[in-house]
Amino acid sequence: MAAVRSVMTTTRTHFLLLHNNKCSSSGCYFLRLNKAFASLCRWPSPKEKSSSSSAEETLARRIASRGGSISSSSKEFSTREEGQPESLEYRIFFSDRTGRTISPWHDIPLRSSSGEDGDGTLLNFVVEIPKRTKAKMEVATEEQPYTPIKQDTKNGKLRYYPQIHCCAQLFFSRYNINWNYGLLPQTWEDPTHSNPDIENTYGDNDPVDIVEIGERQAEVGEVLKVKPLGIFAMIDEGELDWKVVAISVDDQKAYLVDDIDDVEIYFPGTLTAIHDWFQDYKVPDGSPPNRFGLGDKPADKATALRVIAETNAAWANLVKRHDPGEINQLKPHAET
């Protein structure tokens, strides 16, 4: 154990020294990332070990009281691939149980058929980017009416997340994004609506994003049942880009977390890591760091549910007012 700790300490020191010349006026990108992910990689204190043991007991009690867990992976939808992965032509299309081609944005319901979980509604989460992968996959909102998943492009080239080293090869070896990432179907961040609570920013013309913090690596195109825990108000080049923090209902810690404060208890360091990763992930490409509203902190579950309801209503109004082919003409599509 002492040897492993020594390796981790040496690796972190090397990381800091290696990138110490990458600082900017906004602060050092690499130092911030190292600090965030070091908090995820650190060894638990005796107090945290005790809390973890208590958490396992609480989990067992909650599962027993519910008579089991809910399966998070939906069997209602299937996918098919067209083209070669990592090519401009690659697409993943969705179908329902009858084999009918559907849109993952418009046709998959926002709320899961499993109903309520505790005090919050279970939601359907469409996975675009599995954790620890680099290809920037996204639902092609401009390709109506089926909006398949494709790899995003910039200047005609496929986009990838920058690769970052952390903690040698013990935990996150040469990984990119450490959470399953995707969208909430039937939501839309209205680019014509100004939010007075978030610096009068306008929506980014996309569905609401989900950052899923569970342990399992999902697959591109998988539809998971999740419960929301909180939300970040990220501001990307002046546009409001909500990031809902959620967890798959079948994760081993799902019954322990019901609100944003629970995340820090049972997933220590995760909220800081999410904040810093989304703040800085574009910096290697020459972009400025993203900013956050709401006091630069994640808001609670109640705020997340309110935002989800508002963006669901915005989506409903969108599809009533516009032909699907006109949706992307409301505003140039933001590369976020």
Could you list the active site residues? Answer: 161
CB 243 within 8 A of CB 211: yes
Helix H or strand E segment including 212: strand 209-212
Q: Are 115 and 227 in contact (CB under 8 A)?
A: no
Closest CA to 310 of 102, 104, 110, 112: 110
Q: Determine the Cα–Cα distance for residues 61 and 54; give it in Å rounded to an integer.
A: 11
In this structure, the chain runs to a length of 336
The three-state secondary structure class of 241 is strand
Which of 232, 257, 227 is CA-nearest to residue 243? 232
Going by their DSSP bridges, the two strands 172-175 and 164-166 should be labelled as: antiparallel
* Sequence-separated (6 or more) residues with CB below 8 Å from residue 232: 242, 243, 245, 274, 275, 278, 292, 294, 298, 299
Angle at 57 between CA 54 and CA 60, to 5 degrees: 150
d(CA 150, CA 147): 9
Tell me how far apart the alpha carbons of residues 37 and 139 are, in angstroms, rounded to a whole number: 28
Is there a contact between 189 and 27 (Cβ–Cβ < 8 Å)? no
